[in-house]
Amino acid sequence: MESFDNHINPPFTKIWVDDFSDYDNANRTEYVIQDAYDAMSYHDPITVYVILDNDRMYKGDQLIPTTKNGREYLIGYSHQKNRYVLYLSYTRERHTKLIPIAEYKNPNGALHGLMTFSTVGSHDRLAAHIYRMIKTYVDGDYGIHETILGIIADAGYRDDPRFQYLNELAISYEVSNLRKDLPVRFKEALHSLQDIHPGSCATAYSDIYDVFVKYDFFKNPTLAIIQNIVKDIMIALGNYII
């Protein structure tokens, strides 16, 4: 499978497109928050920038005009490539544009991709990993500490010495495999660590924890609101991914 990272919303209203070749030639995308996009000195004209905190999309410097329901996720078949293709579509004025997301050799793979990406709410690799980590918590395989640690490890902190220290600190407070809220003493130690190393993995850890608190995830762990949780964690990590 060849894949191209693009944000997708979960529509099932329209699935099949027959050999649709009228799509923009964007071969990469970036997930950023609006402030990060605005701070860029250069916007690649063939990159689609998906804004995490307000649901806008830009191609280079140009805002892609969409209606509220202007995006769809579609499956098509390319006779030229002999592959099934997943597209992100958006409406610009009265015309529909398609951006290729992924290619599959068989329709079952394409349909599985459609359902998976729609459940996650994104085709981004990190978003998919966040979903898998949260699912392991819901299934009872991981505690809350292991879930958060797994997310920030995949965000780039795995080999950071401060990441190792954070894990050792958590172990000293006996939070391993904890299925309920984090102990108050550990949260106090976490805040102290943030004061010493602002903007570090400790801050990312704390921000992800705050997302779980926001959705009352300790009392009601469910995948029903998974897209909201994944999106909020992606926004939080937008400041810390290294």
pLDDT digits (tens, 9 = 90+) for 165-217: 888 888 899 888 888 888 899 999 988 888 877 767 888 899 999 999 898 88
Give, in order, the Cα–Cα distances in Å from 1 to each of 4, 105, 130, 209. Answer: 10, 8, 21, 34
Least confident of 13-17, 30-34, 99-103, 104-108: 13-17
Confidence of residue 45 (pLDDT cuts 50, 70, 90): confident
pTM of the prediction?
Answer: 0.63
Would the pLDDT of 15 be above 70? no
- For residue 100, give the nearest of 231, 234, 230, 8 by alpha carbon: 8
Token pair in block for residue 109: 């793979």
Look at residue 28 in the predicted model and tell me its pLDDT: 67
pLDDT of residue 42: 93
User: Per-residue DSSP letters for 20-53?
Assistant: --------EEEEE-HHHHHH-S---TTEEEEETT
Sign of the CA dihedral with 68 first, then 10, 154, and 100 last? negative
